[in-house]
């Protein structure tokens, strides 16, 4: 619903060129709490002129920021880490109110941002170049990494600040300036994130925040001639669209996209360990993680034993408002996503799946709650085995042996994260080699990324770039080769 700016509620507007700005008749939209359906606050819908202004400010700030020394840039990140720590509770509460994940998860996510600030501050000291022996005796050759210019960061709602941190901090430490377009659902969390950089005195124009519909604001950034890099996390559909648009102005585009992640369980595995990990990977963040486990591919001999364990743990999960203690699973992000989950479960049943637990929305509650759901008797070609649902739905698929398990795992368009539970050194190593995913976990859930380790997917889960580690600098910098003859 569209609201006008005149209201008693503080409306922060957009952050452009070091200040919070809004036009006289700025259009504002509601940010809704998915647990209560109440309004949490309002965010501005940036106009086309405001998006241009944000890019202009970032372009102009680039001249100064790229010449700011690395240790000085790092100092800003260290200070930001401290302020994020101070604002942890407020930011986490806002995240839980805006997108529903339980408070402990939100607090953990702010913790990730704190650590990313420190990591990138340190990693920036290692933006090393290379020297090469010249064919001429009087020539010195060196290759240096240089920042590229204005980076547009476009981020989803499921990790409102961690994913933004991976991109924005990598861009800033390497000397680029940023225009950030967060997901509309978490615009208020993005405001608090941005406020941290205002408080620490980041030079004006180095970080800008523009909110509003992705199809307008995000699309404009993808078209803009002065945006040099797009760093995007979100759906495969939007990622492809962005790439097509960005190609016209030869932008560099880094895409982190969807997944259809599986846990493979072989008959020699520790089933207790596997069951715990499966439930955590499937239902944390209400299954709304790009790395969430949505398929269990299990050897037939142990299917019943594993299923029994998984269902028992799942039935103990408490669904509710993420701000309340004791709650394990929050709501889905919005009504549309709730309906998507309902639709997929209905299709699964039509295709022959059996609902082992869950399978319906919680009608007694306000908000977009759906029971964590385990399905058995799913076949590898079924819709729930192929398409990203992004909700608390886990499908069991039975196979006869390791080779079939790997084949089923690889038989989707995605390739983000796969776990393999086995006690066999042979199958662990073959799995690591034969599984077509950017992330492979042996005896671990699918959602266990660590800072400093390259993160990203193969096939339709991305376009080959990586973040969360120093590999992000391959996106955020370009090489210059310098020949000096003396």
Q: Tally DSSP H helices, then E strands, for the chain.
A: 15, 22
The residue (of 120 and 449) whose beta carbon lies closer to ligand NAP is 449
Residue ranges binding ligand NAP (CB under 6 A): 154-159, 163, 181-184, 213-215, 218-219, 222, 233-235, 238, 241-242, 256-259, 290, 388, 390, 416, 457, 461
Is the CB of residue 287 less than 8 Å from the CB of residue 393?
Answer: yes
Give the chain's end-to-end CA distance (angstroms, integer): 67
What is the C-alpha separation between 310 and 354, in angstroms, rounded?
15
Q: What DSSP state is assigned to residue 299?
A: E
153 included as an active-site residue: no
Catalytic residue (one of 98, 123, 195, 256) = 256
Q: Which of 151, 154, 150, 149 is nearest to 217 (CA)?
A: 154
- CB 481, min distance to ligand NAP, A: 32
Alpha helices in 417-482 (DSSP H): 425-434, 473-476
The residue (of 233 and 321) whose beta carbon lies closer to ligand NAP is 233
At 150, give phi and psi (nearest 5°).
Answer: -85, 125
256 included as an active-site residue: yes
Catalytic residue (one of 123, 195, 290, 356) = 290
What is the C-alpha separation between 264 and 478, in angstroms, rounded?
39
What is the C-alpha separation between 204 and 363, in angstroms, rounded?
48
The residue (of 153 and 202) whose beta carbon lies closer to ligand NAP is 153
Strand order in the sheet with 293-299: 354-357, 373-376, 393-399, 293-299, 261-265, 417-421, 439-442
Tell how strand 19-21 and strand 27-32 pair up. unpaired
HSE of 267, CA atoms in CB hemisphere, 13 A: 11
- CB 459, min distance to ligand NAP, A: 12
What is the C-alpha separation between 120 and 130, in angstroms, rounded?
20
Q: Which of 260, 205, 267 is nearest to 60 (CA)?
A: 205
- CB 72, min distance to ligand NAP, A: 30
- CB 159, min distance to ligand NAP, A: 6
The residue (of 188 and 399) whose beta carbon lies closer to ligand NAP is 188
What is the C-alpha separation between 396 and 477, in angstroms, rounded?
43
The residue (of 175 and 234) whose beta carbon lies closer to ligand NAP is 234
- CB 237, min distance to ligand NAP, A: 7
Dihedral angle, C-alpha 260, 354, 277, 407, nearest 10 °: -40
The residue (of 181 and 303) whose beta carbon lies closer to ligand NAP is 181
- CB 337, min distance to ligand NAP, A: 8
The residue (of 79 and 465) whose beta carbon lies closer to ligand NAP is 465
- CB 458, min distance to ligand NAP, A: 11
Beta strands, E only, 400-465: 414-415, 417-421, 439-442, 458-459
State the catalytic residues: 256, 290
């Amino acid at each position: 619903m569209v609201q006008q700016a005149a209201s008693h509620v503080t409306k922060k507007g957009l952050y452009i060129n070091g200040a919070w700005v809004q036009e006289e008749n700025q259009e504002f939209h509601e940010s809704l709490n998915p647990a209560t359906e109440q309004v949490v606050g309002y965010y501005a819908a940036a106009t086309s002129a405001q998006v241009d202004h944000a890019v202009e400010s970032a372009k102009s700030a680039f001249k100064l920021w790229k010449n700011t020394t690395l240790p000085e840039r790092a100092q800003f990140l260290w200070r930001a880490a401290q302020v994020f720590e101070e604002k942890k509770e407020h930011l986490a509460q806002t995240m839980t109110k805006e997108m529903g994940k339980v408070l402990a998860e939100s607090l953990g996510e702010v913790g990730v941002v704190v650590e990313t600030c420190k990591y990138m501050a340190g990693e920036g000291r290692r933006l090393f170049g290379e020297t090469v022996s010249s064919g001429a005796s009087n020539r010195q050759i060196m290759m240096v990494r240089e920042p590229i210019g204005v980076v547009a960061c476009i981020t989803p709602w499921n990790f409102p600040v961690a994913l933004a941190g991976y991109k924005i901090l990598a861009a800033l430490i390497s000397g680029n300036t940023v225009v950030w377009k967060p997901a509309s659902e978490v615009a208020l969390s993005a405001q608090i994130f941005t406020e941290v950089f205002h408080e620490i005195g980041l030079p004006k124009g180095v970080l800008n925040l523009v909110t509003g519909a992705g199809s307008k604001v995000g699309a404009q950034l993808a078209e803009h001639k002065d945006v040099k890099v797009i760093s995007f996390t979100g759906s495969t559909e939007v990622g492809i669209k962005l790439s097509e648009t960005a190609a016209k102005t030869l932008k560099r585009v880094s895409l982190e996209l969807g997944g259809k992640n599986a846990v493979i369980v072989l008959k020699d595995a520790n089933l207790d360990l596997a069951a715990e990990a499966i439930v955590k990977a499937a239902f944390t963040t209400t299954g709304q993680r790009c790395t969430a486990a949505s398929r269990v591919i299990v050897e037939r001999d142990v299917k019943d034993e594993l299923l029994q364990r998984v269902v028992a743990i799942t039935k103990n999960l408490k669904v509710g408002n993420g701000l309340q203690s004791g709650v394990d699973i929050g709501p889905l992000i919005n009504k549309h996503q709730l309906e998507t989950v309902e639709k997929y479960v209905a299709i699964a049943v039509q295709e022959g799946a059996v609902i082992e637990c869950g399978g319906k929305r919680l009608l007694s509650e306000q908000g977009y709650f759906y029971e964590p759901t385990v399905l058995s008797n799913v076949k590898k070609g079924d819709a729930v085995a192929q398409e990203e649902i992004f909700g608390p739905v886990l499908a069991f698929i039975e196979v006869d042996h390791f080779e079939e398990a790997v084949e089923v795992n690889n038989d989707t368009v995605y390739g983000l994260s796969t776990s393999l539970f086995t006690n066999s050194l042979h199958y662990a190593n073959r799995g690591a080699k034969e599984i077509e995913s950017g992330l492979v976990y042996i005896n671990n859930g699918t959602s266990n990324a660590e800072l400093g380790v390259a993160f990203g997917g193969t096939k339709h889960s991305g376009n080959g770039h990586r973040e969360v580690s120093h590999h992000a600098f391959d996106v955020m910098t370009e090489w210059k080769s310098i020949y000096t003859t003396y």
